Structure 1
Amino acid sequence: MSATASETGSGKAPGTSGGGGLALTVIAVAQLMVMLDATIVNVALPEVQKDLDLHTTDLSWVVNAYTLAFGGLLLLGGRIGDILGRRRVFLGGIALFTLASLAGGFAQSSAWLMASRALQGVGAAVIAPSILALIVTTFLDEGVRNKAFGVYAAVSGSGAAVGLLAGGALTQALSWRWVLFVNVPIGIALYVVIPKVLRETDRQPGRFDVYGALTSTLGMGALVYAFIRAGDKGWSDGSVLATFAAAAVLLAAFVVIESRIATPIIPLRMFRDRNRAGIYVIGLCLTGSVMGLFFFLTLLMQNAFSYDPLEAGLAFLPVSVSIVFTATVVSKQLPRLGMKLPLVLGVSLNTAALLWLSNVSTSTGYLSGLLGPMLLFGIGTGLLFVPLSQLGVSGVPMEDSGAASSLLNATQQVGGSLGLAVLMTVFGSTTRSSTGTDPAAVLTDGASAAFLAAAGFAVLALLIAAVGVKVPAEEPAGGPAQGQAPDATPAQSPA
């Protein structure tokens, strides 16, 4: 075991030149890059369609290719970090993500662009679980770790909204290609700085679970694809039913494999913890609601309310600000508040915001009908992200920290894809049955139904948060489980 900072008499990690503040900045920037890429192309899609002459179905896969690769490979990404070393894998993911972004910016065809987006998703699947694991292993002091989780939560919660804002600004000022090119200088800077501020973690013994990786990736990918396909073709379509069946067989095979091998990608024992299992379901439900909110509000703003790309991006700014502010406050007050109260209150506010938005119509104005629920949603997300992140990864043995963080990220990414696909089905069913002739009115009717369905996801999450998650009042707000032997040094308090 490497010497800790306290043993060396320094607040910095041995072998590095950076302190905790710079290390946290690097982690936050990497997380922001990964999160905003899930939405940064959304506002640019009309320009992409014109430039590359894409069909509407192809256009949807500009978003889905990233999400499918991201969600489907997260489990493998976490295990790779455990075995090969998290900093090494982190750097590899940054390099792949940066190169894929560069290639996507130069895309001349739909196949080229989708392949680049899929490679971005592969890079993100490696980066994301490494980020949470590095927080757990780098910031050992409880107070410092709370601050680190607060920054992580703020970045995670606001990343989608920041992506919409950045996408609108870049598309209007330069070109849609810059929503991809913007990652290149950021990625290069991260690649240079990471070895200076983050030390390598100890490599865990074990082998790569090839069959588990194959069945989990194909199974999760098939499940996401089936829901997305259902949104286009309907639930009775033969190809949809066949893909659902294939997903069920693959995921069942994955569970059997994981229960029988010595070094699984996801140790099934992690699901025995009631809180952690509940957090995974909450993350699955809430991310679907979040993606639905951003997608349908963007659709309404540009197609029903005549916002240009920049105006649509700016309209989401209050969401980002409220998430960052609330998450920062919560992270500082978490030892006093505990994790139960902000979690339940946050989910409650999100539910109320979605119910409010379900009343949208063609006469809804930004100040009178959109700003209020958006602020409510931002505050709710800021409240719940810190306890959601901590409960998902805290208390696991150090050798499982990468697997725990990858599973938390996987449930959120897959939840976003599955949730949005279900909401698209509700939206499509509503618009197809509409008897109206005004396109804007038909669109708002469909979005209203989708918001109501998203509120249903949030209600399920609220029930689990209120009844299923049990956090003793005296439980600390996070940290290694009793008996853990952390393999990283405590960093200095973030600036």
Structure 2
Amino acid sequence: MAGAAVGLFAGGALTQMLSWRWTLLVLAVLAGVVLAMTLIAFPTRRSSEHRSTRPLSGILITAGLFSLVLALSVFESGDLRTAVLLILGGAGAVLGFIFAERRTSDPLVPARVLKDRTRLGALVALGLGAAGLFSVFLFVVYYSDVVLGFDVATTSIALIPFPVAAVASSLLLAPLLQRSIGERAGLLIGLGLAGAGMAWAALTAPAASYAFSTLPSIVMVAAGMGLVFASAQDLATRGLSAADESVGAALVHAFQQIGGAIGVTALNAVSVVVARVSSDPVAGYTAVFAATGAIYVIALVGTLLIWMPARRSPRPLLAR
């Protein structure tokens, strides 16, 4: 999360001084450096347990999610018929993935990994949290440019409090809350704090003030998501067997990336639709900030419901 904000800052500086093409070139160089360091730092280790490769499952779930994200983009352009067809096709591919997984003895995502309620709740929090977070990065930048009138470099500087608050929350506040009230409670507080931040952004967006609106909002979101990521990643991988550790780690990243992709696309569609029906240039941003806050609230409620203990049916009187 902090890395993403730092990337926005550095990208803004590069764009201002050189051009946006340099940001892509730097990413390619960084990717090569990271790959080389990974190959050096992590020696090859052969697993004693062989797992078969299931290309069909991978193709189905990838095609299904891609179709759903593309459908949101097509809907934004006004092509409702194509959007519906893509949604139906994507849903069919996802159902095909589930069917294929249930019929194999060595599934891509074993059901036992997701049966743990603590893990499932943490993954839901990560996915929905990323859906909101990725959108915050995108639309706060747009808002700073269009409404506040910041140039690229000023927008980058305005985002500096985000990584600072995120790191402080993850390293200082999260351990304190985990020791005092537990990781689950800390995660839920983080989602609530992030939701409050976006609610404040939605309420104060028409004021067009960085100090009054944007700054408090991004600090609250950063602090909240710092708590979420500090707890959720540990909860999502705790208790996994050696055979399932790689699956659990992959799910953590998959939920974040899928949630982020769907969130950005969906909220962009919200912004476009609202902008079409409203003459207020801030209305689209207000709607997106409110919708992002709603995503965090849904994440909080959904995670809480998953973590609630299942009700046990009362025992018959004769069995007591």
What is the TM-score normalised by the length of structure 1?
A: 0.59
Name which of 294, 305, 317 aligns with 2:148.
305
Matches within 5 A, 1:34-53: none
SS of 2:282's partner is helix
Q: 1:174 and 2:37 equivalent? A: no
Post-superposition Cα deviations, 1:361-387, rounded to whole Å, max 9, x if no partner, equal 453211122111111111111111111
Counterpart Cα distance in 2 of 1:285 and 1:335: 21
Q: 1:427 and 2:265 equivalent? A: no
Match of 2:233 in 1: 389
| Structure with the larger helix share | 2
Match of 1:254 in 2: 97
Give the counterpart letter for 1:356 in structure 2: W
Match of 1:7 in 2: none
Give the counterpart letter for 1:160 in structure 2: A
Answer whether contact 2:5 2:159 (CA < 8 A) is retained.
yes
Counterpart Cα distance in 1 of 2:178 and 2:261: 34
Answer whether contact 1:228 1:418 (CA < 8 A) is retained.
no
Superposed displacement of residue 252, structure 1: 0.6
Give the counterpart letter for 1:194 in structure 2: T
| Unmatched segments (≥5 aa) in structure 1 | 1-156, 437-441, 472-495
Superposed displacement of residue 195, structure 1: 4.1
What is the TM-score normalised by the length of structure 2?
A: 0.89
Matches within 5 A, 1:212-231: 212-231=57-76
Superposed displacement of residue 335, structure 1: 5.8
Superposed displacement of residue 191, structure 1: 4.0
Residues 334 and 197 of structure 1: CA distance in aligned 2, closer, same or farther (over 3 Å): farther
Name which of 238, 244, 252 aligns with 2:81.
238
Counterpart Cα distance in 2 of 1:431 and 1:187: 37
Tell which deviates more after alignment, 326-335 or 414-423: 326-335
Matches within 5 A, 1:335-414: 336-337=179-180, 338-414=182-258
Superposed displacement of residue 316, structure 1: 0.9
Give the counterpart letter for 2:286 in structure 1: S
Give the counterpart letter for 2:281 in structure 1: L
Counterpart Cα distance in 2 of 1:286 and 1:187: 25
Match of 1:329 in 2: 172
Name which of 451, 454, 477 aligns with 2:289.
451
- Identical aligned residues as a percent: 26
Superposed displacement of residue 330, structure 1: 4.6
Residues 325 and 231 of structure 1: CA distance in aligned 2, closer, same or farther (over 3 Å): same
Answer whether contact 2:204 2:212 (CA < 8 A) is retained.
no
SS of 1:399's partner is coil
Answer whether contact 1:300 1:443 (CA < 8 A) is retained.
no
Superposed displacement of residue 160, structure 1: 2.5
Q: 1:281 and 2:106 equivalent? A: no
Counterpart Cα distance in 2 of 1:372 and 1:191: 37
| Unmatched segments (≥5 aa) in structure 2 | 310-320
Match of 2:307 in 1: 469
Match of 1:208 in 2: 53
Answer whether contact 2:68 2:86 (CA < 8 A) is retained.
yes
Match of 2:312 in 1: none
Post-superposition Cα deviations, 1:47-67, rounded to whole Å, max 9, x if no partner, equal xxxxxxxxxxxxxxxxxxxxx
Match of 2:8 in 1: 164
Counterpart Cα distance in 1 of 2:36 and 2:258: 31
Name which of 197, 203, 208 aligns with 2:41.
197
Post-superposition Cα deviations, 1:378-436, rounded to whole Å, max 9, x if no partner, equal 111111111111111221112222222222222221111212222222222221111x3
Residues 201 and 395 of structure 1: CA distance in aligned 2, closer, same or farther (over 3 Å): farther
Post-superposition Cα deviations, 1:138-166, rounded to whole Å, max 9, x if no partner, equal xxxxxxxxxxxxxxxxxxx2233222111
Tell which deviates more after alignment, 352-361 or 199-208: 199-208
